[in-house]
A and B are shown apart, each in its own frame.
Chain A
């Protein structure tokens, strides 16, 4: 065996002196961004654009956070005169819309775009210009919504935009149009990212890297992008229908002219529920990457986790109606969607116990990312359990539309997305900046 290898090696022409280095420099020049500001505008590199996605998302995260402080300031006192009702409605609508569409989704896209080629061993995403298109669509859509907020004409019908309240009769003015246009641009950006994440993972893995051997994060992103490809079109369709109704009077959602307001809810939640898992899966991917490193051991149950991802992808499309338990749907449908909603907790439980098992198996060390991961466990377990409660129809009838749901979704999103993203940022930041971090600052922040 050894002989053959040596024999083959002798047949190859010897490398020209310093050929590898020259090739590397040539390639680096070809793949580099152009110089100057224009070079930044025309950049298609996944590193540049991935980081830009994440940086922009964090700016919107800060803006959404400030809006939430305004909400709390208004709610701190009874009959507070801090914000009038109209402005308050704009602010809570924008808080939800910004956090969902302008922070969470672009943040996970950015992480995937930045990290995937490095994990898979390819130079760039499958369609680098599509990455750039996605970023500019995202920025444009986000700026539409921010500009409207600055001028006091931001959307004010809730981040869920229920018809007929968001229709032309009950929401005259451009507020709702701003939401429909801005969010649609962000959706286009998301679909673009999903297309190329899928293609990159399926077609551009390094030679010899089987699907069954790729890093778990790539499995998570593959599940996420598959869900985005199926989940976003209903929302895009809904937004287009609603804009056509508002602009041209076509009655898709108007019961007096043969439409149905519930059509919007079905389209919105057919996107909206998978959306929760679209946000959670990349964060769980970061967890599955970071926990084994922090514990100095391979992950427990790679195959089971892949099965859990596929299970979540499938199940999450069968339970959107649990957002609509109070709209008066037939009893059999209530039972079906209640059971499906309960069932989706199983793949999540598999992952949580696989992570805890990994911690048992290894030698966990409390580095900074691990502190955020502990924050994940504390928060997300309660978020998950309150979610199971909400899947139970009689209890849902009491808790629906109350602060219980607000609390549940914030536990899930802070625990299931923000904490893992903080862990990811602190874990990969040295790789991004090439510098060690200032000791103690991150620990203080996570405490």
Chain B
């Protein structure tokens, strides 16, 4: 019963790995590094789970000598610390690759309000251009997003491009994203922010030509 349900669920589970809001269907280097980290950790976690459960199952037999040297020091301390050191090292390595740094990357702004976004980038004429539905970024290069908030805490998240960054009133947070190709990506608010939280969705458009030509966009001017 359980097995057949698991098999029936398999296509559903795998289907969840792709799509516009999947972190496992990366659209750029930052998200791809994190996705690889996840697959590595998942493989390790599956092996460890099986290992522990097999040890547990083997315990149901005749009494055997169990030495502290093996169980406490060998498995409890050294085995766990070795695994954790590898995972932590991988995490720090990936983290160093994806943090924002001062390399003159294009900077755009995402300002959150209850319940929507004001996205600003520098237009072709050098004047800031604001849009409430779509964030415009250049494709094929790292982009830093300055995330701010008007009222309560929100969180800026485009799963295919990078992790999330909270929008906190009184602070300016910087998040690095990268899109490999020109195209459209989905984004959403990831921090519970009240009644309209679920509707705080937005689009990201990555452009080959930067700044995008005026004809390319639907612009609503006049926002702060």
Contact = CB atoms under 8 A, between A and B. Distances in A.
A394 B190 contact: no
A326 B165 CA distance: 5
B71 interface: yes
A394 B33 contact: yes
Chief secondary structure at chain A's binding surface: helix
A71 interface: no
A353 B75 contact: yes
Given A328-B168, A328-B173, A401 B72 contact: no
A396 B163 contact: yes
Given A164-B151, A326-B166, A401-B155, A338 B92 contact: yes
10 contacts: A89-B195, A165-B152, A165-B193, A255-B170, A346-B77, A349-B76, A349-B77, A353-B72, A360-B63, A389-B87
Nearest to A348: B80
A389 B33 CA distance: 15
Nearest to B23: A398
A158 interface: yes
B163 A328 contact: no
A397 B71 contact: no
B77 A350 contact: yes
A339 B53 contact: no
A57 B70 CA distance: 40
Given A164-B169, A327-B166, A350-B72, A342 B155 contact: no
Interface stretch (A4-12, A126-134, A380-388): A380-388
A240 interface: no
B164 A377 contact: no
B64 A392 contact: no
Chain A interface size band reads 35 or more
Contact of B84 (A89, A261, A342): A342
A362 interface: yes
B195 A342 contact: no
Most buried by B among A357, A360, A392, A394: A394
Interface stretch (A17-25, A48-56, A297-305): A297-305
Interface string A290-312: 00000001001100100010000
Contact of B34 (A335, A354, A394): A394
B58 interface: yes
B193 A260 contact: no
B217 interface: no
B7 interface: no
Nearest to B114: A170
Contacts of A89: 194-195
